Amino acid sequence: MKKILWVLVVASFVFAGREDISMLNQQILTLQAENQDLKTENRSLSDAIKLLEARVAQLDSESKTRLRTIDEQTIKIEELEKKVKSATAALEMINRSTPETHVASSVAVPVTSLFPISATIMTKKANDGSSIATLIAFYNGSNESVSAFDARLRFSQNGEELLACNVTINKPIRFGENETWYGAIPYNSTDAKNVRFYDADPSSITVHVEVLSVTLSNGAIKKFK
């Protein structure tokens, strides 16, 4: 009887141990499954971080490109604003100023220019029925600075002379530099060529300068005949 009881006790312990081992194995399997899930989540999170970093880098590159474009556009706008301001200032000067009518004459003087002064019409507009208010830029292409000069201006279009007049420019011009002059060019409203000059775009007009005399910056006077 004692042996039977001892066997039963031992059997119960063995059975209980097996149940504990089974539960332990089940817990191990559960932990392994949870660990695998965590690994999967970590990989997904890592991939998401990589995608986010790539998107951030792309946005940074696009932002820098847009900033460069904005900077280039800003520079272009500033250049255009400078040109507009310059043109506006020239027009305002014409609108506010009174042209020098006393220095222009339509008397013909046959001369050949020996002093290198050139000219370009910048703007022109009607002054009255007998003159045209004109803004002209003179360039001193010599190696001497001048304080004043007399010249005959011949205005032509496509090689055909439309109008000519004499002017006196009392403005100093350093050699290699430009100076503007605003004055009244006389014209005959009944002369077809003069009217063509009146209507022409300034950029289509060529100005030939025949210097008659020049006063240098040192006071010396040169005459050309």
Task: Say yes or no: 105 and 215 in one domain.
Answer: yes
Mean pLDDT of the chain, nearest integer: 76
Position with higher pLDDT, 151 vs 10 = 151
Indicate whether 51 and 156 sit together in one domain: no
Asked whether residue 106 falls in the same domain as residue 196, the answer is yes
Across the range 119-124, mean pLDDT stands at 91
Instruction: Indicate the number of domains in the chain.
Output: 2
**Predicted pLDDT of residue 173:** 94
pLDDT at 157 over 80: yes
Which of residues 204 and 53 earns the better pLDDT score? 204
Task: Mark whether 113 and 6 lie in a shared domain.
Answer: no
Residue 156 pLDDT class (50, 70, 90 cuts): very high
Domain that holds residue 54: 1-96
Contacts of 182 (CB under 8 A, 6+ apart): 93, 94, 97, 99, 100, 133, 134, 135, 136
Q: Are 218 and 165 in contact (CB under 8 A)?
A: no
Residue 135: burial class (beta carbons within 10 Å; 0-12, 13-18, 19+): buried
Domain's final residue, options 96, 117, 146: 96
pLDDT digits (tens, 9 = 90+) for 64-100: 777 777 777 777 777 766 665 655 555 555 454 444 5
CB-based contacts of 137: which residues, under 8 Å, 6+ apart?
A: 119, 120, 122, 178, 179, 180, 181
**88 and 125 fall within a common domain:** no
Give pLDDT, residue 80.
65
Q: Which of 79, 96, 113 is the last residue of a domain?
A: 96
Q: Which amino acid is at 194?
A: N
- Among the candidates 62, 96, 130, a domain finishes at 96
State whether 155 and 73 are in the same domain: no
Both 60 and 11 in one domain: the answer is: yes
CA distances 97 to 20, 25, 169, 183, 184, Å, are 112, 106, 16, 9, 11
Max avg pLDDT among 93-97, 100-104, 130-134:
130-134
- Asked whether residue 115 falls in the same domain as residue 185, the answer is yes
Instruction: Determine the average pLDDT of the residues in 175-196.
Output: 90
Reported pTM: 0.53
Residues 105 and 193 in one domain: yes
pLDDT at 62: 78
